[in-house]
């Protein structure tokens, strides 16, 4: 299969999916390396396709919205606090779309998360630990912004109230 046909097929696969698809799975499907898929995705993005890379794989941004998007500003240190904050949000019905920090040199730095369950939180924490990686919030003394998606305002209020109780929310 030539590269143009493969890229068209990648768009088709991602358009039909509401969950992230790993680059390795796409590569296996087309019998190419993961690096070829990374390059294809970069070209597709340059062509204007709104493809995001999440910790769980690639997806088209417009396929994920099913509720109200809100932002919260949090501050905490350590992986245990990250896990508790994220679990609080998903347990109360929210989905964490991203994490954003304001860097003094680079400006806004955003990482797409797409975390919607305790299992997603667990996988995220495992990847942090396995890769000995630091969260983006270490660049800003633990201060970070999350865009979260909620089904309604009541769910958002419950999430905010609980994060205030746990002293994670900055208001």
Task: Compute the distance between CA of residue 23 and CA of residue 122 in angstroms, rounded to an integer.
Answer: 20
**Mean pLDDT for the chain overall:** 91
- For the chain, give every domain's residue range: 3-63, 68-165
What the block records as the tokens of 96 is 């964490």
Of 99, 111, 86, nearest to 146 (Cα)? 99
- Binding residues, as ranges, are 76, 85, 144, 146
Looking at domain 3-63, which CATH architecture does it have? Orthogonal Bundle (1.10)
The answer to whether residue 30 scores a pLDDT higher than 90 is yes
| pLDDT recorded at residue 79 | 81
| pLDDT recorded at residue 63 | 65
| Segment 110-142, tens digit of pLDDT | 998 989 999 999 999 999 999 999 899 999 999
Of 54, 61, 46, 33, nearest to 6 (Cα)? 33
In CATH terms, the fold of domain 68-165 is: 3.30.1340
Give the mean pLDDT of 139-153.
94
- Binding residues for Ni(2+), as ranges, are 76, 85, 144, 146
| pLDDT recorded at residue 67 | 84
Give the mean pLDDT of 77-83.
89
Confidence of residue 94 (pLDDT cuts 50, 70, 90): very high
% of the chain beyond a pLDDT of 70: 98
| pLDDT recorded at residue 18 | 80
Confidence of residue 64 (pLDDT cuts 50, 70, 90): low
């Amino acid at each position: 299969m030539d590269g143009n046909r493969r890229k068209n097929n990648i768009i088709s696969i991602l358009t039909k999916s509401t969950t992230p698809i790993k680059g390795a799975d796409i590569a296996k499907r087309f019998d190419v390396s993961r690096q070829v898929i990374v390059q294809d995705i970069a070209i597709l993005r340059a062509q204007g396709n709104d493809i995001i890379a999440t910790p769980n794989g690639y997806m088209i941004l417009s396929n994920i919205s099913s509720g109200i998007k809100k932002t919260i500003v949090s501050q905490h240190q350590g992986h245990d606090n990250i896990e508790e904050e994220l679990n609080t949000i998903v347990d109360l019905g929210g989905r964490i779309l991203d994490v954003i920090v304001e860097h003094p040199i680079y400006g806004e730095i955003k990482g797409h998360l797409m975390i919607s369950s305790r299992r997603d939180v667990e996988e995220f924490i495992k990847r942090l630990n396995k890769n000995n990686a630091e969260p983006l919030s270490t660049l800003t003394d633990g201060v970070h912004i999350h865009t979260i998606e909620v089904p309604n305002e009541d769910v958002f209020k419950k999430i905010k109230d609980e994060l205030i109780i746990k002293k994670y929310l900055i208001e």
